[in-house]
Amino acid sequence: MILSEAELRPLAVAALQRRGVPDDSAALQADLLLEAELRGLASHGLLRLPRLISRLEKGLADPQARGSHDWRHSGFLQVDGERGLGPVVLMAALQTLAGRVGETGLALAAIRNANHIGMLAYYAEQAAARGLIGIVLSTSEALVHPFGGSRAMLGTNPIAIGIPTGAAPFVLDLATSVVSMGKIHSHALQGEPLSAGWAVDVTGQPTTDAEAAKSGAIAPFGDAKGYGLGLAFELLVASLCGSDLAPQVRGTLDDTHVANKGDLLILIDPGQRDGLARRLADYLDALRASPPARADRPVAIPGDGMRARRAATLKRGIDIPDSLLAQLQAL
Amino acid sequence: MILSEAELRPLAVAALQRRGVPDDSAALQADLLLEAELRGLASHGLLRLPRLISRLEKGLADPQARGSHDWRHSGFLQVDGERGLGPVVLMAALQTLAGRVGETGLALAAIRNANHIGMLAYYAEQAAARGLIGIVLSTSEALVHPFGGSRAMLGTNPIAIGIPTGAAPFVLDLATSVVSMGKIHSHALQGEPLSAGWAVDVTGQPTTDAEAAKSGAIAPFGDAKGYGLGLAFELLVASLCGSDLAPQVRGTLDDTHVANKGDLLILIDPGQRDGLARRLADYLDALRASPPARADRPVAIPGDGMRARRAATLKRGIDIPDSLLAQLQAL
């Protein structure tokens, strides 16, 4: 069924408020889920809400917590998320860092014990909207096999990077797996087969069955290099956040365990440089105008497609599976 | 001809000293080139020296400069490389940052106006040897086409990440192109064809001719995701260093222009956490022992191959093309 964003938002907000989530936190968590829906990223959208509600009801997520902040050094903020909602803990940390970078030039928040933070692009955009560069990393359960391996040993370890320009900010958001586990779940939900090369089953054999892949492993993107980056992010987050490594991580996909992954947020103040913002925007335009490999497909800049989908979905409405809508209404 | 590292080192050091490079700087620059040779990375090895010498003779590289340091914020070091040798400017910045991270927790050096810094892994290792996390980025001439594009618009934009563990440090070093331009040059030098999909020629058509690729463009690694990361690094370095964007960059491959690319170095103090270093090393061992896709090829950790090649080359000697050796002796 197709509903407008304005019709769906109150459903999500009310479901959270009814579990003791304060108004501002409920609005923020709902915004994360709806922004994912608007950008066509259903895997990070409202389908996450029923499990999140269950986590609140079981005490695995604390409706009120915003995280405790401890400056280990002048630019290094250690955050205990206190089981808070991911977006609430992240945005509180982002605010604190943004108040510090004027002095230090850059600052990071090393976060543990927060729930799933959802679509990383959201925070990179929030940074860029403040004129700051934002880099966001997050880890997950073991879902990805090493390059040349066959067992899930790494998280999907996404990264988002937001950079202010003279036009729309540059926003990159990608998992270091060839696809996100959210996409595997969404294929499983809709009974769609996976592309070849995306995944192996629990025995390590290649599969296109999304259900079989859920208990198997996803391939890293970009072969050895993508694997190397995913592994570097795994070690970086664990080193700084004191969070668990993928094989021990629980709590981002289930409603039975505390979330013990880590989230890392780095803000950098690029300062004011004459003409820089314009120069970046002009460069991105030159890329868009550069000769494409296929005449009918212009060169794209990361974030362009997302913005276009968002505008279209705002007009057309969000297509919600009936079963999910029924679940949301029951919440 | 095969020569030992101990035979080659004095050749490189003397060639630099004769152009007014102080002893310690000559030793450092030579070490960068020899370490690349030892790891089988000939593209970043001694073949770079004749051009570097020419740059010194023409005043494009200043033999004495170490870069001027300006703390824009307490964690943000702006470095004007003053046309210094890349390794000399980088290591001076690394020393300065290392003296600051005890206070700020993390610090970055945004460097412009330095010559080619060579193999990035070197600096990541130096950071890890000090118990610090090191992240190094560098940009270059336009050598890489966008995903879905056909014209060189981005640098090869490599990244290195070094992370201390309880065993050997984790060291990742990769270009965001599917291969480095150094490798294209080394194939051209040896008359070897390129793999399909690596490059396009100057008209944007796919080619396996290394000479044709030199005036064409290399593909990004990992399709859209690798392109996105390479582009993010391009914008990040230009934003922070005030350096030029790829289409305007000169001076890392030629001996006719001042080097106007940027280099970014970030150091982070991971602090002391009980058992963390051991936990990371154990995790890497578990990855190595995890079931491989092909029984005869165990899962590898980035850096393992490099260390093995280094040990073997130290024993066996460095295989230097006769023409290059003659050039070195003439210098």
- Sequence-distant (6+) residues with CB within 8 A of A296 are none
Task: Identify the band that residue A286 occupies on the pLDDT scale cut at 50, 70 and 90.
Answer: very high
- Work out the number of other CB atoms within 10 angstroms of the CB of residue A255: 16
Please answer yes or no on whether A287 and B232 come within 8 Å at the CB atom: no
Residues B156-163: what's their mean pLDDT? 97
3-state secondary structure of A286: helix
Q: Give the minimum alpha-carbon distance from B291 to chain A in angstroms, rounded to a whole number.
A: 6
Please answer yes or no on whether B103 and A290 come within 8 Å at the CB atom: no
Please answer yes or no on whether A148 and B229 come within 8 Å at the CB atom: no
Give the pLDDT score at A271: 86
* Element holding B39 (H helix, E strand): none
Please answer yes or no on whether B240 and A270 come within 8 Å at the CB atom: yes
- CA torsion B87-B89-B90-B94 (nearest 10°) is 130
Residues B258-264: what's their mean pLDDT? 97
Query: Read out DSSP for B250-318?
Result: -SSS-SSS----EEEEEEE-----TTHHHHHHHHHHHHHHSPBSSTTS----TTHHHHHHHHHHHHH-E
Task: Say yes or no to pLDDT of B43 above 90.
Answer: no
Integer angstrom CA distances of residue A168 from A201, A215, A304, A327, B56: 41, 39, 9, 36, 42
Residues A290-314: what's their mean pLDDT? 95
Q: Give the minimum alpha-carbon distance from A323 to chain B in angstroms, rounded to a whole number.
A: 33
Q: Which residues of B touch A280 (CB under 8 A)?
A: 235, 238-239, 245
- Sequence-distant (6+) residues with CB within 8 A of A171 are A121, A124, A125, A128, A160, A161, A162, A163, A302, A303, A306
Q: Which residues of B touch A271 (CB under 8 A)?
A: 72
The DSSP secondary-structure symbol of A252 reads S
Q: Which residues of A touch B222 (CB under 8 A)?
A: 221-223, 225-226
**CB-CB: which of B149, B238, B280 is closest to A299?**
B149
- Sequence-distant (6+) residues with CB within 8 A of A92 are A66, A67, A69
Q: pTM for the full model?
A: 0.97
The DSSP secondary-structure symbol of A157 reads -
Cα(A238)–Cα(A150) distance, integer angstroms: 23
Mean pLDDT over each residue of chain A, to the nearest integer: 95
Q: Which residues of B touch A172 (CB under 8 A)?
A: 228-229, 231-232
User: Encoding tokens for residue A174?
Assistant: 């990608």
The DSSP secondary-structure symbol of A274 reads T
- Sequence-distant (6+) residues with CB within 8 A of A100 are A74, A75, A77, A107
Please answer yes or no on whether B225 and A222 come within 8 Å at the CB atom: yes
Cα(B97)–Cα(B90) distance, integer angstroms: 10
Q: Give the minimum alpha-carbon distance from A148 to chain B in angstroms, rounded to a whole number.
A: 5
Please answer yes or no on whether B204 and A293 come within 8 Å at the CB atom: yes
**CB-CB: which of B133, B247, B283 is closest to A245?**
B283
Residues A223-231: what's their mean pLDDT? 98
State the count of interchain CB pairs (< 8 A) between A and B.
231
Give the pLDDT score at B49: 96
pLDDT in tens, A164-210: 999 999 999 999 999 887 788 878 888 999 999 999 999 999 999 99
Count how many Cα atoms sit within 13 Å of the Cα of residue A302 in the half-sphere of its side chain.
27
Mean pLDDT over each residue of chain B, to the nearest integer: 95
> CA triplet B280, B286, B289: central angle to 5 degrees?
145
Task: Identify the band that residue B185 occupies on the pLDDT scale cut at 50, 70 and 90.
Answer: confident
Give the pLDDT score at B184: 87
Residues B23-46: what's their mean pLDDT? 95
3-state secondary structure of A149: strand
Cα(A160)–Cα(A281) distance, integer angstroms: 19
Cα(B255)–Cα(B250) distance, integer angstroms: 9
Query: Read out DSSP for B104-163?
Result: HSEEEEEEEEE-----THHHHHHHHHTT-EEEEEE--SS-BPPTTB-S--B----EEEEE
- Residue B245: closest CA among chain A residues belongs to which residue? A283
Residues B10-37: what's their mean pLDDT? 97
- Work out the number of other CB atoms within 10 angstroms of the CB of residue A129: 12
Give the pLDDT score at A273: 79
Please answer yes or no on whether B75 and A107 come within 8 Å at the CB atom: yes
Q: Which residues of B touch A102 (CB under 8 A)?
A: 73
- Residue to mutate among A173, A218, A290, A296, with most B CBs inside 10 A, is A290
Residues B288-317: what's their mean pLDDT? 95
Q: Determine contact, residues B269/B106, Cβ cutoff 8 Å.
A: yes
pLDDT in tens, B117-132: 999 999 999 999 999 9
Give the pLDDT score at B245: 98
Cα(B230)–Cα(B90) distance, integer angstroms: 21
Task: Say yes or no to pLDDT of B199 above 90.
Answer: yes
The three state secondary structure string of A207-247 is: ECCHHHHHCCEECECCHHHHHHHHHHHHHHHHHHHCCCCHH
User: Encoding tokens for residue A270?
Assistant: 């690029």
Q: Determine contact, residues B160/B171, Cβ cutoff 8 Å.
A: yes
Looking at beta carbons, which pairs linking B18-24 to residues 24 or more positions away fall under 8 Å?
Answer: B18/B331, B19/B53, B19/B56, B19/B57, B19/B63, B20/B56, B20/B63, B20/B64, B21/B56, B21/B63, B21/B64, B21/B85, B22/B63, B22/B64
Residues B78-85: what's their mean pLDDT? 98
Task: Identify the band that residue A231 occupies on the pLDDT scale cut at 50, 70 and 90.
Answer: very high
- Sequence-distant (6+) residues with CB within 8 A of A265 are A90, A93, A94, A97, A108, A109, A111, A123, A134, A135, A136
Give the pLDDT score at A274: 80
Please answer yes or no on whether B242 and A287 come within 8 Å at the CB atom: no
- Sequence-distant (6+) residues with CB within 8 A of A210 are A184, A185, A187, A188, A191, A192, A193, A194
Q: Which residues of A touch B104 (CB under 8 A)?
A: 73-76, 104
Paired with B161 in beta bridges are B135, B172
**CB-CB: which of B75, B283, B302 is closest to A106?**
B75
- Residue to mutate among B120, B225, B288, with most A CBs inside 10 A, is B225
Q: Give the minimum alpha-carbon distance from A21 to chain B in angstroms, rounded to a whole number.
A: 33
Task: Say yes or no to pLDDT of A266 above 90.
Answer: yes
Paired with A78 in beta bridges are A70, A110
Give the pLDDT score at B67: 98
* Element holding B27 (H helix, E strand): helix B23-38
Cα(A144)–Cα(A227) distance, integer angstroms: 9
- State the sign of the Cα–Cα–Cα–Cα dihedral A289, A293, A298, A304: negative
Task: Say yes or no to pLDDT of B182 above 80.
Answer: no
Task: Identify the band that residue B181 occupies on the pLDDT scale cut at 50, 70 and 90.
Answer: confident
Picking from B72, B54, B70, the residue whose alpha carbon sits closest to that of residue A106 is B72
- Residue A205: closest CA among chain B residues belongs to which residue? B293
Cα(B78)–Cα(B109) distance, integer angstroms: 6
Picking from B123, B156, B122, B124, the residue whose alpha carbon sits closest to that of residue B142 is B156
